[in-house]
Structure 1
Amino acid sequence: MSTSRVTTTVAELHDALASENPPLVLDVRWALGDPYGRDHYADAHIPGAVYVDLDTELAGPPSPEGGRHPLPELAELQAAARSWGLGQDQPIVVYDDLGNTAAARAWWLLRYAGVTDVTLLDGALGAWRAAGLTLESGLPADPEPGDVVLHAGGLPLTDIDGAAELARDGLLLDARAGERYRGEVEPVDLRAGHIPGAVSAPTGENLAADGTFLLPELLRKRFEDRGAADASRIGVYCGSGVTAAHQIAALALAGFDATLFAGSWSAWSADPTRPAATGPAPA
């Protein structure tokens, strides 16, 4: 995975929007416990950006086996992408207002579906605001439908058994906050704790104070300190497979490939046959 195309800077996006081949900009405004993403988008968004609903367009219906945000069926994702106006081979830039921890789901999912030119706006909407650039408000008319054709398999994916194997024989990173990993709190899922053998690596630590990604060399040290350099394979999970995608983007910037356990803790904790570990240690 090319580290040069994981992110786009605000300056690069500003120039690209004025070019002959502007990217499609997707606004993935979402946060756990906040159902008002479309309202936030209507209040202020990057000019021309299309709102994407994470719960309904970037995820399938929740289930115990699939978790709270299972991957959508490919045909449904393609229909959604066409409704955003996405054309074949059109570049895409995605952002949110939360350090890209939600937008990364769109980044990962589109790359998984074969879209190669999709990047995260580094610093997300906050960086656009900080640069003093124009914002739009309101809900625009639906864009003209696109013609993109999607194909699954562009990024690696694992299931619950594969996650258990990664925890034993590779490196499985838990991207949730440390207190959830340790089992001290569990606000949404059925059980507290973590997958036995998984290593804590909270997603928020991928970011600098201004919401941009840490420099690649700092990210590389962060993941090497957790065993990435010696791991034959790396996997990532979180609560429901959303912020784990952010971790995969950070790993890519650091020069590591990683696979996603999409069901994540929401699927693991729903299976009573799967053990849960608590405390700061992996086991």
Structure 2
Amino acid sequence: MAAPSASPLVSAEALRTLLADPAARVRLLDVRYRLGFTDGRENYLAGHLPGAVFADLEGELSRAGAAAEGRHPLPDDDDLERAARRWGICEGDTVVVYDDARSLPASRAWWALTRAGVKDVRVLDGGLGAWRAIGGGLEEGDVVPDVGDAVLTRPGRGDVLDTDQILLWTGVLLDARAPERYRGETEPLDPIAGHIPGAQNLPITEVLTEDGRFRTPEEIGARFEAAGAGENIPIAAYCGSGVTAAQLALAGALIGREVTVYPGSWSAWSNTPGAPIETGPFSDEDPTD
């Protein structure tokens, strides 16, 4: 993944200053999405940051695929470039993405665009709530920008992991789901409960504050360390369907750590015949013994 040229986060106050700068070239993307709901665009139309364009997580930041690919497979490279241009992104723009769901879908947008070579992508820390908290105004209706000229790279699948590669991973594998899903006590979405053998649990809530902002780099680093992701240890991450894992990759970027994402995540793994499953707390015993 290409390294961002600026911090991957922007505060609401800093964004307001940036938007007031006539020399700044800012493209705002509203990535509101809730699992199990289809009201993201409806909520966008009811009120969004001025000038923001709606980006569809399921229709543009992922694609339809077979069950063994997971619920949110990566979009094709060409399709993502077409979407970026529809959003009005041009070469040299600062792209700011936000949502109202603890920056979860916005993190997917940040990850997808950053890995495709967009040099300055930032997530509004605290999302729509943070903007409202500083008195930031909203506007209604759709924004249809001029088509952009962004040229995205074609990373394909070279910087991500697929199901066949997971058990060959030699670093630490982090599971970003809630502890009860990791332990296999409950599974509300996928056909089998549990986790990938050898994975350690780092719930995404551990790197966020109660109001959905990212914790300090020192706190995030401590959470990674406690989950076995010490210095110089390669890190891979998965979640339910490859969205929360992208947010863990963003947390890694905040502390200078690269996190390789398994986009298929548990939704792909649990739909793969013969894939081994573990339940209960983490064990460092070899699952093949």
Q: 1:76 aligns to what?
A: 79
Does 1:229 find its partner at 2:230?
A: yes
Secondary structure in 2 matching 1:195: coil
Q: 2:127 aligns to what?
A: 124
- Post-superposition offset of 1:277: 0.6
* Higher helix proportion (structure 1 or 2): 1
Secondary structure in 2 matching 1:56: coil
Contact 1:104 1:120 (C-alpha < 8 Å) held by counterparts = yes
Q: TM-score, normalised by structure 2?
A: 0.93
**CA gap 1:233/1:28 in 2 versus in 1, 3 angstroms:** same
Per-residue CA deviations over 1:70-99 (Å, capped at 9, x if unaligned) read 000011111111111111121100011011
Task: State how many pairs are aligned.
Answer: 280
2: CA distance between counterparts of 1:240 and 1:204?
Answer: 17
**CA gap 1:2/1:143 in 2 versus in 1, 3 angstroms:** closer
- Post-superposition offset of 1:56: 0.4
Q: 2:220 aligns to what?
A: 219
Q: Report 1:241-256 matches (<5 A).
A: 241-256=242-257
2: CA distance between counterparts of 1:32 and 1:220?
Answer: 28
2: CA distance between counterparts of 1:181 and 1:75?
Answer: 34
2: CA distance between counterparts of 1:126 and 1:282?
Answer: 39
- Post-superposition offset of 1:156: 2.9
Secondary structure in 1 matching 2:78: helix
Residue identity opposite 2:249 in structure 1: I
Does 1:18 find its partner at 2:20?
A: yes
Contact 2:237 2:248 (C-alpha < 8 Å) held by counterparts = yes
1: CA distance between counterparts of 2:108 and 2:176?
Answer: 13
Per-residue CA deviations over 1:214-268 (Å, capped at 9, x if unaligned) read 0000000010111111563100001110111000111111221110101111111
Q: 1:64 aligns to what?
A: 67
2: CA distance between counterparts of 1:249 and 1:3?
Answer: 14
Contact 1:3 1:252 (C-alpha < 8 Å) held by counterparts = no
Q: TM-score, normalised by structure 1?
A: 0.94
2: CA distance between counterparts of 1:227 and 1:152?
Answer: 32
Residue identity opposite 2:272 in structure 1: D
- Post-superposition offset of 1:139: 2.3
Q: Report 1:64-143 matches (<5 A).
A: 64-140=67-143, 142-143=144-145
Flag structure 1 segments of 5+ consecutive residues without an equivalent: none
Bigger Cα displacement from structure 2, 180-189 vs 149-158: 149-158
Secondary structure in 2 matching 1:235: strand
2: CA distance between counterparts of 1:39 and 1:281?
Answer: 41
Q: Report 1:125-204 matches (<5 A).
A: 125-140=128-143, 142-153=144-155, 156-166=159-169, 169-204=170-205
Secondary structure in 1 matching 2:212: coil
Q: 2:264 aligns to what?
A: 263
- Post-superposition offset of 1:62: 2.6
Equivalent of residue 43 in structure 1, options 46, 70, 79: 46
2: CA distance between counterparts of 1:267 and 1:231?
Answer: 28
- Post-superposition offset of 1:2: 5.7
Contact 1:200 1:282 (C-alpha < 8 Å) held by counterparts = no
Contact 2:238 2:261 (C-alpha < 8 Å) held by counterparts = yes
